[in-house]
């Protein structure tokens, strides 16, 4: 890592982590921004301060769990017709995780338990 990258990582105030949360929320309507967000989280997590790394870890887990939920919900919808309930639950779960993450970033705090499946 270059000196300039090290200096910018040390001064990271969480704005890029906050941007990933915003991209995730926009993905509800647009879709592709979620992929952009998870790529950013993977790219920035190694060079970020420890408190921001917890957000990137949380965001990466959020993306993959969300994708799993959407696949399961879509499968159940096409197969049995009631997967929309799963999709609605996953949507609510996704929004809550993003909003809580943004609150912690706003306070400049590490995410307390980034490995959780809930909030």
Residue 113 falls inside a structural domain? no
Q: Distance between CA 17 and CA 58 in Å, rounded? A: 10
For the segment 69-105, what is each residue's pLDDT rounded down to a tens digit?
999 999 999 888 888 999 999 999 999 999 999 999 9
pLDDT at 1: 46
pTM: 0.86
Residue 119 falls inside a structural domain? no
Phi, psi of 45 (to 5 degrees): -65, -35
Residue 37 falls inside a structural domain? yes
Q: Distance between CA 78 and CA 32 in Å, rounded? A: 22
How many distinct structural domains can be found in the chain? 1
Residue 116 falls inside a structural domain? no
**What is the domain extent for residue 98?**
3-106
Q: Distance between CA 53 and CA 81 in Å, rounded? A: 39
Closest to 59 in 3D by CA, of 119, 103, 114, 15: 114
Per-residue confidence band for 7, with pLDDT thresholds at 50, 70 and 90: very low
Residue 86 falls inside a structural domain? yes
């Amino acid at each position: 890592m270059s000196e300039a990258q090290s200096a910018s990582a040390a001064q990271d105030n969480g704005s890029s982590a906050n941007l990933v949360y915003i991209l995730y929320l926009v993905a509800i309507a647009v879709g592709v921004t979620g992929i952009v967000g998870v790529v950013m989280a993977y790219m920035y997590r190694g060079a970020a301060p420890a408190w921001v790394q917890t957000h990137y870890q949380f965001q990466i887990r959020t993306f993959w769990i969300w994708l799993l939920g959407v696949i399961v919900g879509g499968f159940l919808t096409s197969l049995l017709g009631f997967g929309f309930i799963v999709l609605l639950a996953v949507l609510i779960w996704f929004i809550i995780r993003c909003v809580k993450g943004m609150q912690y970033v706003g306070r400049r705090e590490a995410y307390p338990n980034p490995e959780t499946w809930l909030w």
